[in-house]
Structure 1
Amino acid sequence: MSLDAATVRRVANLARLRLDETEVEKLQAELNGILDWIEQLQQVDTDGVEPMAGGAPVEVKLPWRADAVTDGAQAEKVLANAPDREGEYFGVPKVVE
């Protein structure tokens, strides 16, 4: 399949792209190259190849962690670079309007 310049202009218009003639020619060549690669991929024999999801067989499931609310237990790490702190909290200036 090959795209002509009119089709490239229509696609660019639908994508809200403003192209001049040199850009249309460049985009036409790039899109035709992509379509050539797709045609090559469609010719690959995939009979007998099992589909994969995320690189693992479908039967493999990720373990779920317990859904528990915690404070993170990392107050010292979080506040290590704080410019001002009050106990285990960030110190902020008082704002009164």
Structure 2
Amino acid sequence: MSTLTLVPDLPAEPDPVGPEAAASQTTTDSRGWFARSAARLGDHRDRGAATAEYAVTIIAAVGLAGLLVTILASSDVRTMLLKIVKAALTI
């Protein structure tokens, strides 16, 4: 039997800060730093979006299933379905 071990995400390494780091960076490096920082911020903002979308989809599916059960349980629909099945079996 195998054991599942949970490993937490490693935090992103901080970008160098301070006068020494600023002196060693070029303009291209600064834009790269900004892009990396913006990408990290974007990752955190919508972290639960997929879960919320799945929840909405599941709730809609359950509502549709309930509606179908209610419709198919009525005697009029049951009679109509039986006529269709009998007609298909007699062909």
Q: What TM-score, normalized to structure 1?
A: 0.30
Q: What TM-score, normalized to structure 2?
A: 0.31
Higher share of residues assigned helix: 2
Pick 1 or 2: higher relative contact order, CA cutoff 8 A, min separation 6: 1
Higher share of residues assigned strand: 1
